[in-house]
Amino acid sequence: MAVFSYRGRNRQGEQIKGEIDADTRATVASQLIAEGITPVSIKEILKTEEDSEKKQVRIRLLEKVTQDELIMFSRQMYSLSKAGVPLNRAMRGLAGSVNNLLLQETISGLADELDKGRPLSAALTKYPRVFNDLYISLVHVGENTGRLDQTFKQMAEYLDLERQTVKNIKQATRYPMFVMSAIAGAMVVINIYVIPAFKGVFESLGANLPWQTRALIAVSDFTLNWWPLILALIVTGIIVFLQWIKKPEGRLRWDRAKLKIPLVGSIFYRAILGRFARTFSIVLSAGMPIEQGLIVVSRAVGNAWVGDNVAGMRKSIERGESFTQSAIRTRMFSPLVMQMIAVGEETGRVDQMLAEAADFYEEEVDYDLKGLTAAIEPILVVVIGIMVLILALGVFLPLWELSTAMRG
């Protein structure tokens, strides 16, 4: 049970203020309506300022809205808006049923903004941690066309497809990443514990060591003697890299380099192109002008290099080129997809053709992801074999030579 403060108006239009004990905001709203009071604002009262500060710190640092929660919010808003429930009342009810503090505060804040008469799209701009440019732009179009319920439905479907694509990519790359992490961990253990133990044995024997063994001992000694410097260089390199990719030029180069990574770069590239086609299809079907849609999509594709090319398409269209010509100029799309786009522009069905192009790219990505593990496994076997060979030559070769000498 919590304490809520409320503001509202009675049947005579007089402003009413007060506090009430209830489990959720929805319960408070129901009680007030039953008493003939139309609620305007309902806020939870925290017991102490310390509790309030702790809650705000948790919201700022720990809480984040997951894609699953945003999908659920979009689906619920679709159902409520389609049923004719006023947006502010719908959000008051949703805020009381949400466990995520950040999303709860966000929905309550949106309801407060709606009570002040602001449009929903303008209210969404105050919460960039939760709603991106694409979401805000589509809601704005939905408000202007009277199809806000369909906008929420489209966003729920789009986010669901995005979630599935990311899930498939993570599943396909989980095994290789685990093996590479295990190899790196094994190398650290060998350098710190195994090689020094064998070093003492070799020194006690006083034998001439082969160059493979001397190399392993030198690497181990360097790691043990200079590990603070090595650790500092690694941390510094990570910090410098993160700062570099925050800059526009660094982000552009890094996003382009990611698309050239062997084996997985082409998969990432097709996944991004599929996201572009899917997003732009939704934008056009919602009724957004093509130039404005390209601006929105360029920020939503998740890759600075592809986004820069999409922004270049908008400039080409503004100079009088067709959509197909501007797409050809970027050299991003395959000939098959370009034919689909050209047919869509000729028939006035660009949004439908882009949706089909997105399906094409997504099917290619799914097919390649299924074969990714089979393609990477031989490489991992070779890497492990090389590591074992180096260890065998460096550690066991002097033992074999010593055994041979003793027999001779």
The 10 Å Cβ neighbour count of residue 84 is: 8
What secondary structure letter does DSSP report for 194? I
Burial class (CB in 10 A: 0-12, 13-18, 19+), 239: exposed
Q: In sequence order, which residues have a C-beta less than 8 Å from that of residue 296 and are 6 or more positions away?
A: 133, 134, 137, 279, 283, 288
| C-beta of residue 277 within 8 angstroms of C-beta of residue 352 | no
Sign of CA dihedral 289, 107, 58, 97: negative
Q: What is the DSSP letter of 331?
A: T
Length of the chain: 408
Asked if 330 contacts 312 with a C-beta cutoff of 8 angstroms, the reply is yes
pLDDT for residue 46:
56
Q: How far is residue 324's CA from residue 344's CA, in Å, rounded to a whole number?
A: 9
d(CA 311, CA 299): 9
65 and 129 in contact (C-beta within 8 Å)?
Answer: yes
Which residues are CB-neighbours of 56 under 8 A, at least 6 positions away? none
Quick check: helix, strand or coil at residue 25? helix
Give 324's contacts (C-beta < 8 A, 6+ positions apart): 338, 341, 342, 345
Say what the pLDDT of residue 403 is: 65
Amino acid found at 86: P
Kindly write down the DSSP assignment for every residue of 285-327, as one continuous string. HTT--HHHHHHHHHHHSS-HHHHHHHHHHHHHHHTT--HHHHH
pLDDT on residue 48: 46
**Given this model, what pLDDT does residue 86 score?**
86
3-class DSSP state of 62: coil
Superfamily in which the 169-408 domain is placed by CATH? Type II secretion system (T2SS), domain F (1.20.81.30)
- What's the rounded Cα separation, in Å, for the pair 408 and 402? 10
What's the pLDDT at 254?
A: 92
pLDDT for residue 147: 83
pLDDT tens for the chain, 408 residues: list them.
Answer: 567 788 888 777 777 777 777 767 777 788 888 777 888 888 777 554 445 555 555 555 556 888 888 999 999 989 988 888 888 888 888 887 777 888 888 888 888 888 888 888 889 988 888 888 888 888 888 888 888 888 898 889 888 888 888 888 888 778 778 888 888 888 888 888 877 877 777 766 666 677 777 888 888 888 888 888 989 999 999 999 999 998 989 999 999 998 888 878 888 888 888 888 888 888 888 888 888 888 888 888 888 898 898 888 888 888 888 888 888 888 888 887 888 888 888 888 888 888 888 888 888 888 888 777 777 778 888 888 887 787 777 777 776 766 665 555
| Secondary structure string (H, E, C) spanning 229-271 | HHHHHHHHHHHHHHHHHHCHHHHHHHHHHHCCCCCCHHHHHHH
Q: Going by DSSP bridges, is the β-strand pair 38-45/2-9 parallel, antiparallel, or unpaired? A: antiparallel
What is the C-alpha separation between 250 and 243, in angstroms, rounded? 9
Q: Which residues contact 23 (CB under 8 A, 6 or more apart)?
A: 1, 2, 96
Distance, CA of 340 to CA of 337 (rounded, Å): 5
Digit-coded pLDDT (tens) for 49-100: 445 555 555 555 556 888 888 999 999 989 988 888 888 888 888 887 777 8
Global pTM reads 0.70
Q: Which amino acid is at 399?
A: L
Residue type, 116: K
Closest-CA residue to 180 (of 304, 264, 266):
264
What is the C-alpha separation between 403 and 408, in angstroms, rounded?
A: 9
What is the rounded distance in angstroms from the CA atom of residue 75 to the CA atom of residue 125?
Answer: 20
Phi and psi angles of residue 330, each rounded to the nearest 5 degrees, phi first: -75, -25
Q: How far apart are CA 77 and CA 131, in angstroms?
A: 14
Q: Tell me the backbone φ, ψ of residue 272, rounded to 5 degrees.
A: -70, -40
